[in-house]
């Protein structure tokens, strides 16, 4: 088509009002899934820019590139944006796109509620980020906003943060109700519970977790608001309250939240590894029960974040043992993924590379988690950079790599185009290398005693901090490749065809996992 004909094409320059109305009022699950994913990408870049400021300040001791108060604001907003603005919307976007397709439903059960649950989020994050531009300081007490820092000493902008958290929670609750209703009521005939794809199972369990814990977070921030303005003393020791109560309430939400962030990624990996191994998922029933077990155990481990709060020894022992028990169903999953790959006809396209990267690095994060679960040792690790290293090794290779694997895996389905495999591999290897350069030295910093959330530090920590900062800058720049791959795929990618992943496998949106035996390619060396 010539350029003149292209400009006369009715879809080249769409009517702006119609275009805006299409996206604002849409009830199509694919459109809403796309909106969630683009919001997550925007927030990823915003939260990543905040991380760059944090690491620039920590590049050398005494740098003072940014004000210490602004540094604390960056640590607070970076954590809130990455958890509530990146991982949760991205996973919800994947659910919106794929769950109806995987269960044979025409749409989500409650399409208008689906639209509303998305559009609450841009308002919430606009409100949260606007605290940076208010006359007083933005919230500067860390993403966990412990009392009394957020009650007695919190700046006026804390109230806007609380309202934003309420909006995020409302969106999550509505989205969870929608997903549960869709999976229960709209499965195609013959799709029994034990024929659901693993991604659907993990999101079904995640939705119940969200319904259980988001009201707890809402109650927590409401009590903070009441202490700040209505004369209550929930967390004020001078009025008969208890600051430690805040930690109990917050972490009763906070630890299941960790599994809310990671379980959908487990589902993604359980779809990708069988596809590129040309084998059905090993131990499907065990994987389902392991998912449910992880969710149930997550409600009994919250106080392992609180070993240093003068907890009775019996309490420390209980939470220590239950925390270590969570490693059992997680280990079952890792074993089943590895066994799925064992003697399979493996190929290593970008989604599989991210899945393997997830598998190796998430396991490292799990091992440091077992170290932190030991109550006597935790007294040494508490509030050091060892904790930062641990949860970034869980959430970046876990949740973020899981999201990236899903995007590369399903991008041909979403767009009808193939992404540039060469660029995808560059993105993976640069992300993998720089991620380890960033976060692995933090283990050593923590073991040497460097506290987290500090804008300055002693000279003996300088070398590892410089290495970590260089890695962070590299990791951040590598994500620009990811953005370019997505845009290039949408605009000019080659046609994907019905089976974009070569090797005779059938894609997971056409096939439940585990697939029937006769539908997967039998590797020649198993004959």
Give me the residue label for tokens 């919800």.
Answer: 92
Q: Hey, what's the torsion of the CAs at 273, 276, 281, 282, to 10 degrees?
A: -90
Q: Is 78 a catalytic residue?
A: yes
Q: Residue 66 is encoded by which pair of tokens?
A: 């940014």
Collapsing DSSP states into helix, strand and coil, what is residue 495? strand
Residue of 270, 368, 489, 513 with catalytic role: 270
Contact 405/351 with Cβ under 8 angstroms?
A: yes
Residue 484 designated active-site = no
Contact by Cβ (8 Å): 375, 321: no
Give the burial string for 367-385 (b: 16+ CB within 10 Å, else e).
ebbeebbbbeebeebbebb
Q: Residues 158, 171, 350, 438: which is the catalytic one?
A: 171
Which pTM was predicted?
Answer: 0.92
Is 34 known to be catalytic?
A: no
From 29, 304, 392, 427, active-site residue: 304
Which entry of 29, 55, 78, 390 is annotated as an active-site residue? 78
- Would you call 304 a catalytic residue per the annotation? yes
257 is catalytic: yes
Number of H helices, E strands in the chain: 17, 2
Report the candidate in 278, 299, 316 with the shortest Cα–Cα distance to residue 505.
Answer: 278
298 is catalytic: no
Give, for 417, the enclosing helix (H) or strand (E). strand 417-418
In the chain, the largest separation of any two C-alpha atoms, in whole Å, equals 78
The answer to whether residue 409 is catalytic is no
Do 512 and 195 form a contact (C-beta atoms < 8 A)? yes
**Residues in the chain with pLDDT < 70?**
1-14, 502-527
Which is catalytic among the residues 259, 337, 385, 409? 259
Q: Which of 29, 55, 255, 392 is catalytic?
A: 255
């Amino acid at each position: 088509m010539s350029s003149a004909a292209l400009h006369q094409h009715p879809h080249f320059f769409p009517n702006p009002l119609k275009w805006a109305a299409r996206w604002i009022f849409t009830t199509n699950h694919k459109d809403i899934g796309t909106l969630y994913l683009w919001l997550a990408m925007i927030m990823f870049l915003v939260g990543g820019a905040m991380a760059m400021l944090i690491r620039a300040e920590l590049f050398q001791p005494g740098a003072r590139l940014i004000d210490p108060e602004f540094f604390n604001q960056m640590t607070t907003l970076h954590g809130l944006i990455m958890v509530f603005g990146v991982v949760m919307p991205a996973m919800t976007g994947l659910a919106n796109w794929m769950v109806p397709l995987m269960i044979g439903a025409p749409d989500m059960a409650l399409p208008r509620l689906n639209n509303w649950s998305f559009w609450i989020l841009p308002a919430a994050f606009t409100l949260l980020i606007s605290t940076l531009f208010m006359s007083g300081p933005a919230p500067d007490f860390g993403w966990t906003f412990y009392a009394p820092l957020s009650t007695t000493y919190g700046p006026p902008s804390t109230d806007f943060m609380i309202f934003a958290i309420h909006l995020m929670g409302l969106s999550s609750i509505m989205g969870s109700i929608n997903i549960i209703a869709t999976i229960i009521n709209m499965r195609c005939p013959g799709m029994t519970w034990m024929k659901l794809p693993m991604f659907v199972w993990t999101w079904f369990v995640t939705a119940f977790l969200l319904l259980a814990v988001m009201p707890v977070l809402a109650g927590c921030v409401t009590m903070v608001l009441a202490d700040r303005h209505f004369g209550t003393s929930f967390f004020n020791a001078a009025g008969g309250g208890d600051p430690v109560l805040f930690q109990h309430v917050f972490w009763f939400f906070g630890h299941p939240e960790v599994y809310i962030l990671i379980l959908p990624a487990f589902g993604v990996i359980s779809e990708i590894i069988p596809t590129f191994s040309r084998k059905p998922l090993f131990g499907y029933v065990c994987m389902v029960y392991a998912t449910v077990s992880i969710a149930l155990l997550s409600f009994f481990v919250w106080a392992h974040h609180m070993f240093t709060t003068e907890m009775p020894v019996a309490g420390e022992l209980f939470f220590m043992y239950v925390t270590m028990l969570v490693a059992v169903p997680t280990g079952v999953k890792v074993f089943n993924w590895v066994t799925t790959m064992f003697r399979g006809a493996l190929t290593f396209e970008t989604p599989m590379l991210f899945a393997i990267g997830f598998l190796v690095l998430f396991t490292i994060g799990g091992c440091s988690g077992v170290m932190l679960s030991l109550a006597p040792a935790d007294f040494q690790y508490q509030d050091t950079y060892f904790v930062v290293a641990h949860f970034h090794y869980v959430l970046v290779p876990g949740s973020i790599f899981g999201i990236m694997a899903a995007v590369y895996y399903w991008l041909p389905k979403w767009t009808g185009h193939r992404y540039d495999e060469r660029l995808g591999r560059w993105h993976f290897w640069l992300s993998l290398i720089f991620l380890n350069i960033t976060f692995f030295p933090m283990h050593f910093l923590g073991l040497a005693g460097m506290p987290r959330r500090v804008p300055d530090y002693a000279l003996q920590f300088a070398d590892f901090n410089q290495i970590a900062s260089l890695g962070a800058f590299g990791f951040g720049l590598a994500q620009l490749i990811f953005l370019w791959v997505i845009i290039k795929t949408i605009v000019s990618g080659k046609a994907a065809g019905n089976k974009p992943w070569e090797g005779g496998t059938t894609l997971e949106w056409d096939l439940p996992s585990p697939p029937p035996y006769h539908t997967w390619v039998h590797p020649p060396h198993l004959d």
